[in-house]
């Protein structure tokens, strides 16, 4: 009941006068119309060296700044991002996903293993821009500059956790702290089942009512949490400094109940079941919509938050956006998995109510097929599961698809691991083929900055977050890039790079053909070995067919592929297409090794 009342009050704001204003044209685009470009601002462009240390004085353990170390701030900022919008838009990107810009704890970690919050995921102030990146005025200037170009801006947000501030008396600070379960450490006993009675009447976190959580006053059920001296008011808004609003059960094992109740690598895990936290987070992120008119949210660690939170938060954010005149506000959650498991992803759209999730299954399937030896029937299994998502196959079209990311590694790195003896030419062909699939198959193509410059990386998070501006990190600069003889020791904004040009060409074609953005996708050909994979996509207004045929093998493939009987004459948009159907409902295609053809029916 409490959640329903809260949601009703939030939805009421949707009737505010701003909604009646005439929306600019970019507001009319659906989520699947976009090509997303993802950047970590610290690693993209440095326009203002004066903010490199975030206004702090001291060594790198105070300021977080050390451009020679991969785990510290390097100086990139929001003004630098503004100055490179031409480059991003030239690639064909229409939406900018900006890594978290909130004020972070500059440095944290055990002595000798410290690193900085350059990535943005260690938030202390959810209401302010990190001074290392600039100011609120700089973020507004970025959003306004993108909007003036017809580009959207998606914010990367976190509700699961804050920076690591809370410590436990029973654990060594900044060291792994073993998770303590609900069964062994119930809420109504201090320090275990034999401890003193506390929190009388608290029915557990599954009862999300304010009345129930009013009974949770003592946080010592599992550990004895405390705020270190000098950090009692480290977080903003002030309510985030209340230790009773956190789970305080130790480090997550990322399985079982600890997945939602445990600390993510030591980060303070918010009790998102508590209505005070729900209301607080709605107020925080609704405020960013109100102040800056952003176009969507990417939600970090979404799978580690209880579904009931999202069931209230998502409608509230959509209502807030609608009131601001943003009808197609895109929300997509990170459900990180290394498996080709669309059912797991789809569950979070069905149960949690997330409108979309990052398509980790797509990424896995392309790594296995283009970057490995799997048959193209794995791609068939991927897309055959599309009806599982909320909204069915139409809902699946809103999933942001990607090839690699800033956590696990870049696509080129996966391809290189899959084919360690391949020539540079073969590796480049495979990476281009992967991007052809990314930009033409269903979903919202998402490009990680640096991929278009042939960045390869070495896997893992810090080794996959290279600088786009001239880097001083030795372990970045010794990387061998694809498609170029240069290294990351000099600026990497080359619009003539073969990957940049290939992506830009594909993005232009995608913008031209509605079938590649909004069109229904139909499987046409696949096999249990590397080779042909083909689909048809259809213009949602005219029904015009576009045949896409990809070859994941190192030998040419020829086949007769099923098409619609009304599709009789074809034009090649990439590669060579037979001008006419071989027979009603059949088109002969020949696809060179590690290449693709795009044939549009007339």
3-state class (DSSP) for residue 168: strand
**Continuous segment of H or E residues that includes residue 414:** helix 411-418
d(CA 289, CA 586): 50
End-to-end distance of the chain based on CA atoms, in angstroms? 56
Strands 545-551, 557-562: parallel, antiparallel or unpaired by DSSP?
unpaired
R_g over Cα of the chain: 25
At a CB cut-off of 8 Å and minimum separation 6, what does 257 contact? 181, 182
DSSP letter string, 520-585:
EEEEEE--SSSSEEEEEEE-TTT--EEEEEEE-SSS-EEEEEE--TT--BEEEEES---SB-SBTT
- Determine contact, residues 534/524, Cβ cutoff 8 Å: yes
Strand partners, 467: none
- Determine contact, residues 72/118, Cβ cutoff 8 Å: yes
d(CA 48, CA 373): 46
- Determine contact, residues 446/401, Cβ cutoff 8 Å: yes
d(CA 147, CA 165): 37
Strand partners, 545: 538
Is there a catalytic annotation at residue 114? no
Catalytic pick among 130, 300, 386, 452: 300
What token pair was written down for 250? 């130790």
Q: Residue 19 CA to chain centroid, in angstroms? A: 28
- Determine contact, residues 156/300, Cβ cutoff 8 Å: yes
Catalogue the E-assigned strands of 374-460: 400-402, 444-448
Catalogue the E-assigned strands of 200-256: 225-226
3-state class (DSSP) for residue 155: strand
**Continuous segment of H or E residues that includes residue 11:** helix 2-11
- Determine contact, residues 589/547, Cβ cutoff 8 Å: yes
Is there a catalytic annotation at residue 334? yes
What token pair was written down for 584? 């009603």
Helix ranges restricted to H, 12-70: 60-63
90 class by beta-carbon count within 10 Å (0-12 exposed, 13-18 middle, 19+ buried): middle
Catalytic pick among 77, 251, 334, 378: 334
Catalogue the E-assigned strands of 201-314: 225-226, 296-299
d(CA 442, CA 383): 9
Question: Which of the 8 DSSP states describes residue 508?
Answer: H
What token pair was written down for 61? 């353990």
d(CA 7, CA 284): 16
Closest CA to 331 of 350, 361, 310: 310
Active-site residue numbers?
300, 334
């Amino acid at each position: 009941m409490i959640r329903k009342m809260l949601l009703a009050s939030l939805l009421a704001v949707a009737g505010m006068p701003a909604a009646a204003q005439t929306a600019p044209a970019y507001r009319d685009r659906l989520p699947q119309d976009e090509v997303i470009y993802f950047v970590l601002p610290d690693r993209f462009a440095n326009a203002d060296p004066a903010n490199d240390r975030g206004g702090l004085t001291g060594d790198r353990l105070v300021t977080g700044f050390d451009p020679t170390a991969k785990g510290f701030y390097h100086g990139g900022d929001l003004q630098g991002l503004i100055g490179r919008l031409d480059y991003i838009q030239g690639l064909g990107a229409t939406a900018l996903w900006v890594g978290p810009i909130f004020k972070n704890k500059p440095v944290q970690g055990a002595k000798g293993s410290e690193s900085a919050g350059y990535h943005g995921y260690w938030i202390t102030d959810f209401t302010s821009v990190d001074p290392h990146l600039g100011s609120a005025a700089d973020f507004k200037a970025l959003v306004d500059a993108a909007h003036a170009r017809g580009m959207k801006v998606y914010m990367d947000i976190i509700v699961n956790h804050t920076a690591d501030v809370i410590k436990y008396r029973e654990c060594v600070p900044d060291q792994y702290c073993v998770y303590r379960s609900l069964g062994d450490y119930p809420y109504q006993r201090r320090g275990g089942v034999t401890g003193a009675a506390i929190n009388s009447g608290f029915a557990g976190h599954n009862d999300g009512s304010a009345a129930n959580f009013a009974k949770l006053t003592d946080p010592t059920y599992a550990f004895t949490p405390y705020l270190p001296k000098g950090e009692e008011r480290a977080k903003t808004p002030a309510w985030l400094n209340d230790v009773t609003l956190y789970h305080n059960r130790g480090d997550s094992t990322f399985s079982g109940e600890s997945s939602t109740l445990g600390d993510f690598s030591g980060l303070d895990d918010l009790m998102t079941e508590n209505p005070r936290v729900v209301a607080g987070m709605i107020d925080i992120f609704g405020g960013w919509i109100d102040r800056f008119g952003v176009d969507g949210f990417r939600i970090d660690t979404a799978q580690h938050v209880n579904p009931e939170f999202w069931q209230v938060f998502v409608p509230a954010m959509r209502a807030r956006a609608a009131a601001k005149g943003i009808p197609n506000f895109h929300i997509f959650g990170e459900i990180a998995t290394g498996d080709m498991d669309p059912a797991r992803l789809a569950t979070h759209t069905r149960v949690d109510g997330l409108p979309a999730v990052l398509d980790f299954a797509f990424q896995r399937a392309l790594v296995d097929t283009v970057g490995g030896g799997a048959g193209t029937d794995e791609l068939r299994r991927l897309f055959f599961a599309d009806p599982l998502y909320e909204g069915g196959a139409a809902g699946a079209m809103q999933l942001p698809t990607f090839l690699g990311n800033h956590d696990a590694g870049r696509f080129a790195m996966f391809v290189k691991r899959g084919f360690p003896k391949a020539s540079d030419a073969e590796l480049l062909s495979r990476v281009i083929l992967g991007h052809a699939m990314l930009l033409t198959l269903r979903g919202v193509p998402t490009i990680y900055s640096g991929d278009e410059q042939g960045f390869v990386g070495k896997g893992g998070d810090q080794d996959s977050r290279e600088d786009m501006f001239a880097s001083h990190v030795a372990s970045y600069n010794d990387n061998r890039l694809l498609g170029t003889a240069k290294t990351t020791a000099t600026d990497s904004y080359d619009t003539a790079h073969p990957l940049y040009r290939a992506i830009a060409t594909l993005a232009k074609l995608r913008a031209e053909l509605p079938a590649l953005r909004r069109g229904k996708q139909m499987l046409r050909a696949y096999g249990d070995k590397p080779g042909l994979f083909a689909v048809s996509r259809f213009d949602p207004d005219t029904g015009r067919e576009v045949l896409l045929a990809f070859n994941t093998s190192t030998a040419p493939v020829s086949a007769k592929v099923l098409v619609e009987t009304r599709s009789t004459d074809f034009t090649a948009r990439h590669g060579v297409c037979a001008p006419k159907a071989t027979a009603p409902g059949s088109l002969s295609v020949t696809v060179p090794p590690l290449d693709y053809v795009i044939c549009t029916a007339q």
